[in-house]
Amino acid sequence: MAGILFIISAPSGSGKSTLVNELLRLVKGLEFSVSYTTRGLRGSEREGREYHFVTRERFEAMIAAGEFLEHAEVYGHYYGTAAHTLEDAATRGCDLLLDIDVQGAVQVKEKRPGSVSIFILPPSRQVLEKRLRNRSMSEGAVDDKVIELRLQEARKEIENSPVYDYSLVNDRLDDSVDHLSSIVLAERALRSGGALSPEEQRAVAIAKICSQRSGPNRKLRAILDTFGQAVAN
Ligand code: ADP
Ligand code: 5GP
């Protein structure tokens, strides 16, 4: 039986990598989907750990051969999830965590309607800017233009967030990790069809708070308001 696909997306700087790393550390039986990309290695990245780094020619050959579950062009580079990644995880009896953008999330949802999509929201534009600046400073280069572009991109991504099954605001890290792992545990428990343990009941209650399936997310409007008017382009 195929495992559950969990899709996570977020504007850059929202804290997605931090949350994903914590989730993978805490929740057993969940594997990270290593995507293929045509962008170069960054910092301490290693081939096969963060990504499979391939040439544009190889990526296009993989598209032609129908090897991708989904793929998209993000910031001028190709990124894609190979179908074999899902099969490999299912063979090992694991669920899979996909860290992909909104375009990819929409494609996966179409092909695998049973997948679970989660959007990580920053608390506000101001907090997102601070996190982007802090991270850039710790990496040794702050480029105001890049930060402004990321903030404009963030607004567009947040506007698309209602298509996701769940959303959570990454304000306090501990709470966000708790909410994220609750969503995973709740989806597993509800699909198993058995009686729920007290821990599973708690997870289901928390997941319900993060669910967008039952109606619009009230917090979303307030967060979008902090981004002000959209910039025409
Ligand atoms: P992303 O993967 O979404 O681009 P990162 O995980 O790299 O974001 O986080 C961006 C920055 O924000 C990092 O410096 C990280 O330590 C910090 N950060 C992440 N989550 C929180 C949080 N809940 N509170 C404060 N800082 C956070
Ligand atoms: P980065 O280059 O910073 O690692 O990632 C840039 C963006 O590409 C992020 O939004 C990330 O979620 C997205 N991304 C990474 N892998 C994939 C993938 O396989 N498919 C799609 N559609 N997006 C991806």
In terms of residues, how long is the chain? 233
Helices (H), the chain: 16-26, 56-64, 83-91, 102-111, 125-138, 144-159, 173-192, 198-210, 218-225
> Whose Cα sits closest to atom 17 in ligand 2?
100
What are the C-alpha distances in Å from 5 to residues 23, 30, 70, 117, 131? 14, 9, 13, 8, 28
Domain locations along the chain: 5-32+97-226
Q: Give me the tens of pLDDT residue by residue for the chain, a chain 233 residues long.
A: 469 999 999 999 999 999 999 999 999 999 999 999 999 998 889 999 999 999 999 999 999 999 999 999 988 899 999 999 999 999 999 999 999 999 999 999 999 999 999 999 999 999 999 999 998 888 778 889 989 999 999 999 999 999 999 999 999 999 999 999 999 999 999 999 889 999 999 999 999 999 998 777 778 999 999 998 765 54
| CA distance linking residue 133 with residue 13, whole number of Å | 9
Q: How far apart are the first and last CA of the chain?
A: 46
- Ligand 2 pocket check for 72: Cβ under 6 Å: yes
Name the residue at shortest CA distance from atom 6 of ligand 2: 74
Q: Distance from the CA of 136 to the center of ligand 2, in angstroms?
A: 19
Q: What is the pTM of this model?
A: 0.95
User: 5-32+97-226 is classed in which CATH architecture?
Assistant: 3-Layer(aba) Sandwich (3.40)
CA of 172 relative to ligand 1 center, distance in Å: 11
